[in-house]
Structure 1
Amino acid sequence: MLPTALGARLQALLDRTPDLKGGSIPVVTGGDATSPAVLNILDDEELTVAGVAVPLASIPAGATRAEIQVQGIDVRFKLLGAAKLPTATSGYIQYDGGSIVLLKAQIAAARFIAASNSGKLYVTYYGGN
């Protein structure tokens, strides 16, 4: 049995926690926990990155967020589309095992290149209200 004060605090926390809807994970992106934005996983892809700058290959319609894990390489990237590509020595850098989060227009604009060798990016795309 929980002490009364602790039980009341736990119940207050549970009352503010939104229910899962169809397996979606509620993510508060503004406001408070009573009106969360719900992000749904739309798709994922594994992208090989080597010595030529590449965009994300399979962006699903409605994607508003992409979470990218770097696997087996250090990667450079820019968010300027094809107009200004990263090189092996210029652009933001993310190291092997690191993560990158892109939002909305950044998803289509991002270009990636290996800083050396080649490896993979594992990408999960999210969308929702």
Structure 2
Amino acid sequence: MDDDTLSRAFAALADPTRRDLVSRLTLGDATVGELAAPYAMSLQAVSKHITVLESAGLVTRRRDAQRRPVHLDAEVLGELTRWIDRHRIAAEARLTRLDALLHDPDFHGPDPHDPSSTDTPERTP
């Protein structure tokens, strides 16, 4: 997934109505009318939200006789999840290393009164 697609997907999901629409589509395909039913907004407003999700690659619309069901592209959600997980794992690893360092009885850290002291942790022999 390129940066532009990633940005469009996250921007689309920034809106709570669109997140709710995505949640509802995890249950299965639905028409705009079915998706609009619980909202106090026009079909046109819901359709605009769906257009944003569609341009972000999160949903597709297809023809099924006279119906145009909206379909969630779960693969795109998987790509977003993989991007988030990659960064979450890196952040957790950093915090785990910091926690281990802080609980090391031999760790004394840099001397704040010594200008030659670096920001890197030092151990006493």
Same topology, TM > 0.5: no
- Shorter-chain TM-score bucket reads under 0.3
Structure number with larger C-alpha Rg: 2
User: Larger % of strand: which?
Assistant: 1
TM-score, normalisation: structure 1: 0.21
> Normalised by the size of structure 2, how large is the TM-score?
0.22
Structure number with the bigger relative contact order (C-alpha 8 A, sep ≥ 6) is 1
